[in-house]
Amino acid sequence: MKFFVDTAETDQIAELNDLGMVDGVTTNPSLILKSGRDILEVTKEIAEMVEGPVSAEVVALKADEMIAEGRKLAKIADNIAVKVPLTWDGLKACKVLSGEGNMVNVTLCFSANQALLAAKAGATFISPFIGRLDDINLDGMDLIADIRTIYDNYGFDTQILAASIRSVNHAYQAAMIGADVMTAPPAVIKKMAEHPLTDAGLETFMADWAKTGQQIL
């Protein structure tokens, strides 16, 4: 599974990137707002930091304007994936932008039918939102599983990018189902390393080591 980092905070991206934990980055208008940075400036900086796809989202609502914004964002760097919403206009923009050779991430997907349309329109990535479905008492993992089945049935190349990942369980379940990519906040990725038995075992080892009176350095 590929790990995309869901943030526009360059220091957090750099830390994970140094560990080889970054296969790409996703941003959105909310993350740009949180960063306090200019979208073109921070997107360029991120794209220079990582080798993988960097999703930069359009903010227009009409297809023609989405296409114009997408073309401008795509010029920032070769690894930009233009992010468009899963609306009819967004699908139109996806078709044009992907046809021009750009990576396109179709976001805000909440149904398998939407994911099927995005694949038909040439999406590079489809971003089903797990956490937001959980918020309304629907199982977001069911959507990941349904999309996996449909894409496998027909050999679509569109990659399933599990989004709105809020917990380590989300990450684990998405990997088990077969999502190609997950995008998660840095804190969730770091938390994947934690386990109470690891902590307990380390505490025992350290206590026993202290009793030996030895040092390695």
pLDDT tens track for 18-66: 999 999 999 999 999 999 999 999 999 999 999 999 999 999 999 999 9
Q: Which string of DSSP letters, residue by residue, matches 161-206?
A: EEBS--SHHHHHHHHHHT-SEEEE-HHHHHHTT--HHHHHHHHHHH
Residue 117's pLDDT is: 98
pLDDT tens profile 145-195: 999 999 999 999 999 999 999 999 999 999 999 999 999 999 999 999 999
- The full set of domains in the chain, from first to last, is 2-212 (3.20.20.70)
Coil, strand or helix at 16: helix
Contact 71, 97 (CB under 8 A): yes
Model pLDDT for residues 83-93, shown as the tens digit of each residue: 999 999 999 99
Contacts of 35 (CB under 8 A, 6+ apart): 7, 8, 9, 42
**If you average pLDDT over every residue of the chain, what do you get?**
97
pLDDT given at position 33: 95
**Per-residue pLDDT tens digits for 119-131:** 999 999 999 999 9
pLDDT digits (tens, 9 = 90+) for 140-150: 999 999 999 99
Using 50, 70 and 90 to split pLDDT, how confident is the model at 77? very high
Beta bridge partners of 183: 4
pLDDT interval class at 99 (50, 70, 90) = very high
Q: Give the residue among 83, 65, 61 at the shortest CA–CA distance from 8.
A: 83
pLDDT at 139: 95
| Positions marked catalytic | 83
**Structure confidence at residue 91 (pLDDT):** 98
Structure tokens belonging to residue 144: 């990941």
Average pLDDT, integer, range 105-116: 98
Residue 195's pLDDT is 97
